[in-house]
Every structure is written in C-alpha cells, then in structure tokens.
C-alpha cells in the first residue's frame, strides 16, 4: 500500500495539473453525511413507519422479505416521492446541518476535503468529478480563498470557462441537493445528456483519474463513460 501511495504522490507532484479526482460519498462520511447505503437503510425505516411496521435492527432484511426484492436506492425514493422536487425535500435533511449537528461540528468539511482544497490551491488538481450532492468541498475551497467553477447540470456547461482555461472546475455529475434537477433514480442515473457525456469524456481522456470513496454501485452511466475512455497517457488510481 505504501508503495502505491508513494507512486501516486510522485505522479501528482511531477505531473502538476494532469490528474482529476473522482469522489464518491465515502469522502464525506466522516463528516456525518451518510453514504448511499446509509440513506437506503434510513429510507427503508421511513417506508416501514408508513406501513406501521417495525423493520428491526436489519431494515434491509425486512425490506427483502416484505417486497421480495433487493433494497434499491432508486426504488425506495420512487416509493416515497413522485417528483424530483419532492425527492429533494426528503433528501435535504441528510445534507443540511441542524442545531445539534452544529453543536458537535457534524456535516462540516473533513480533513480530506481540506487536503483537496490545498492541492487545488497549489495547482496540483484542476478538476474534480463528484457524485455527491453535498457542498462540503465547495465550503473547503472557499475557506481557502478558491471560488470554484461548478457544473451542476448539463446546461451549465455552455456558459462555463473551458477546462483548459479554468484554474479549477467542480463537476457534480448527479447535481446538487438544492437543485431539483439532480439525478438519483435508476432511470436518471442510467444515461447522461449527450452534452454532459461528451464533457465527461473529455475529462476522462485528458486527465488521469484518482478515485476515492466511490463504490460505482448506483452510477451506471458513469461506469459506461469510464469504460469508453480511451485515455492511456496517465495512470488511474
């Protein structure tokens, strides 16, 4: 492991600006923001409550017995809300801080977010792709005096500074939790708009990719985009 980390550190140091991060929910978990699976379990509890049933200590097992299917983030949300705006209202509580969170400093940028901000400030990282809805990275960047160019929807791409000229660009491929256009059902995550797909393709082909905290379980369109990448100039980690 140490050899891999040393190789990665050397690659970033000697190839300034040629690597991009691909970040998933694992990067935010230590902040108190739940991962996709954590949200799945909590959504099952909400469904059980609506059914006036006790799902016990293992909500996923209760769900399999009750519905005779695997618990799926997309299907759960569709059971609880019919429109993107309604889903947004359900999910907001997972990302926004309460008074209790503030008291114990939860849902704040982690050491990882702050370290990424330092790398961005020094010019080592120019692009981050994230599946996360939260704004912890934006908060860490702004604390370091960096105002990111943020792509939250494919319509943002036309007005954005080209990657080659932008000091830093954050691509939130699934959207932002405060934007009802975000993507989180299986249908929505099954394919991207062609403009976003081409934009991601250019990042994947022009940069090496360092992935952290991303399971790849839900994001079928991103997996297919990664598979179609023809980049062989830089390593992936």
163 near 188, Cβ under 8 Å?
no
Distance of CA 145 to the CA centre of its chain: 22
What is the reported pTM? 0.81
Tell me the CA distances in angstroms from 92 to 39, 58, 87, 133, 154, one per residue in order: 12, 24, 9, 10, 22
101 near 32, Cβ under 8 Å?
yes
Quick: pLDDT tens for 58-107: 999 999 999 998 887 778 888 888 887 787 788 888 888 888 877 788 88
Quick: pLDDT tens for 4-13: 889 889 999 9
176 near 207, Cβ under 8 Å?
no
């Amino acid at each position: 492991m140490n050899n891999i980390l040393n190789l990665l550190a050397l690659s970033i140091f000697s190839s300034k600006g040629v690597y991009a991060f691909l970040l998933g929910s694992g990067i935010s978990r230590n902040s108190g923001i739940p991962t996709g699976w954590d949200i799945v379990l909590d959504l099952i509890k909400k469904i059980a409550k609506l059914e006036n049933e006790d799902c016990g200590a293992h909500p996923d097992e209760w769900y399999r017995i009750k519905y005779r299917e695997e618990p799926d983030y997309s299907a759960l949300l569709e059971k609880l809300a019919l429109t993107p705006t309604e889903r947004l209202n359900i999910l907001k509580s997972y990302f926004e801080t309460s008074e209790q969170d503030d008291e114990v400093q939860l849902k704040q940028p982690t050491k990882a977010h702050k370290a990424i901000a330092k790398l961005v400030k020094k010019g080592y990282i120019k692009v981050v792709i994230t599946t996360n809805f939260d704004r912890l990275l934006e908060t860490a960047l702004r604390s370091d005096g960096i105002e990111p160019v943020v792509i939250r929807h494919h319509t943002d791409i036309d007005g954005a500074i080209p990657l080659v000229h932008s000091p830093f660009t954050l691509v939130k491929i699934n959207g932002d939790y405060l934007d009802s256009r975000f993507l989180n059902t299986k249908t929505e995550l099954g394919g991207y708009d062609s403009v976003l797909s081409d934009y991601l393709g250019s990042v994947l082909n022009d940069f090496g990719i360092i992935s952290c905290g991303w399971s790849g379980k839900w994001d079928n369109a991103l997996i297919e985009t990664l598979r179609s990448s023809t980049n062989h100039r830089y390593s992936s980690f």
